[in-house]
Structure 1
């Protein structure tokens, strides 16, 4: 199953072998997005709105055009920075209280958070990454969680 999932996402990974910055240039492309290939829907948890997706070029371009999300998370693995969609994410305030918990999301997640400092914990295949981000006055903060192995 894991092999099939990785194979299914190889098309998107080939397009963005150099990671998130390459995708940003595609997002500003004037090429139309095939909306039939886009499965994005804003969701909410604990009053926090978020988007999760980015499978395939059209969906990744569509999510990158979404406005109003102050935290942009991307998940990648390996030396080719291949996108991975199977990450568990926990966003906590600095006191350790859980604000948002998402399972098996990605490879791109956009979150609407108020200004402040947050702890982002990403877990994939039992390997955890922990980062602190500071959101200031509506500015967008980008964070890529990268796992060095392809497990």
Structure 2
């Protein structure tokens, strides 16, 4: 009996470790498109998506293909998504390519390969990051503010 307990313990521990992965698999569930208002937009020849309020809308953006820059905006210790961010995407020479107001909490952008700077501003508080985009996987940027103020 002890032998069986010792053999089952590793399997039980492995199952417990996989439980969070199984929960994330629900993100592949069908999306109720009736409430989803996400449509690709264009500015200066650049295609982008902005939104993600609500679970279906966030999943719809998360499943979108062809966008090589993924941005997420969040606040506070609980990393709560926020949709009220002003975003500027600049190319390597400093030219503004994309300007969005009240964007987010998710913004996906389709850009040609190159180096870009992103300035995200919320309530006058600025966050900056850079992205070197090639032909590989999408670059993910997370912009975080400490408080909801």
Q: TM-score range by the shorter chain?
A: 0.7 to 0.9
Structure label with greater radius of gyration: 2
TM-score, normalisation: structure 1 = 0.80
Q: How many Å separate the matches in 2 of 1:103 and 1:120?
A: 14
- Structure 1 42/26 Cα, relative in aligned 2: closer, same or farther at 3 Å? farther
User: Shift in Å at residue 31 of structure 1?
Assistant: 2.0
**Distance across 1 between alignment mates of 2:120 and 2:25:** 25
Shift of 1:27: 7.4
Segments of 4+ in structure 1 off by > 6 A?
Answer: none
Q: 2:59 aligns to what?
A: 61
Counterparts of 1:27 and 1:48 in 2: how far apart (Å)? 32
Q: How far 1:30 sits from its partner (Å)? A: 3.7
Q: Which of 87, 93, 96 is the matching residue for 1:95?
A: 93
Q: Provide Cα deviations, 1:31-84, integer angstroms capped at 9, x if missing partner.
A: 221111111000000000000010000010111110000000000000000000
What's the C-alpha RMSD, in Å, of the aligned pairs? 1.6
Q: Is contact 1:53-1:59 (8 Å) kept? A: yes
Matching of residue 148 in structure 1 with residue 116 in structure 2: no
Aligned residues: 128
Distance 2:98 2:25 in 1: 27
TM-score between both structures, scaled by the size of structure 2: 0.81
- Provide the C-alpha distance between the structure 2 equivalents of 1:30 and 1:109, rounded to a whole number of angstroms: 20
Segments of structure 2 that go 5 or more residues without pairing to the other structure are: 1-19
Name the counterpart of 1:35: 33
Aligned counterpart for 2:50 among listed residues 5, 28, 52: 52
Q: Distance in 2 between matches of 1:143 and 1:45?
A: 20
Q: Which residue of 1 aligns with 2:13?
A: none
